[in-house]
Amino acid sequence: MSNEQQAALVENAIANAEATAQNVTREVRRERLAERAEERDDWIGTWTGVEGMMLTIARGDAPGRYRITNKWGLDAEDAGTYNGRASARGIVFRRGKERVRLVAGDGEATGMKWLADKKDCLIVAPGEGYCRD
């Protein structure tokens, strides 16, 4: 193996080690934030959207952690179960490549006329919300 090849292998190994360290640091930071964030245990249960959309929140494996089952669209692939964590404003989780943040609000804040009169809702974004009666 030439010196250039060895140097390239060393550079690659260093880059991989740095990326791993950044990922570990990021995850530790998230864990600390989840531990300090207000728990959202009062959000545990089923929340209903429109046209069969729903959101179910269950307690996760640690304080500030939640298991989220979500049907957010009409297509079969618009459903899944995700790991979430408490944040300063709500619960965050990844739905595919999208980072989703659930925040408390009312039906008016969902931007959906079918939910406008509801008082206890979780909102992802205008046009996507889930409420309890």
Cβ atoms 66, 40 nearer than 8 A: yes
Is the pLDDT at 54 greater than 70? The verdict is: yes
pLDDT of residue 31: 60
> What is d(CA 111, CA 14) in angstroms, rounded to the nearest whole number?
49
Is the pLDDT at 37 greater than 60? The verdict is: no
pTM metric for this prediction = 0.73
pLDDT of residue 23: 60
Is the pLDDT at 87 greater than 80? The verdict is: yes
Strand residue runs (E) in 1-117: 45-48, 54-59, 65-71, 79-86, 90-95, 98-105
> What is d(CA 114, CA 116) in angstroms, rounded to the nearest whole number?
6
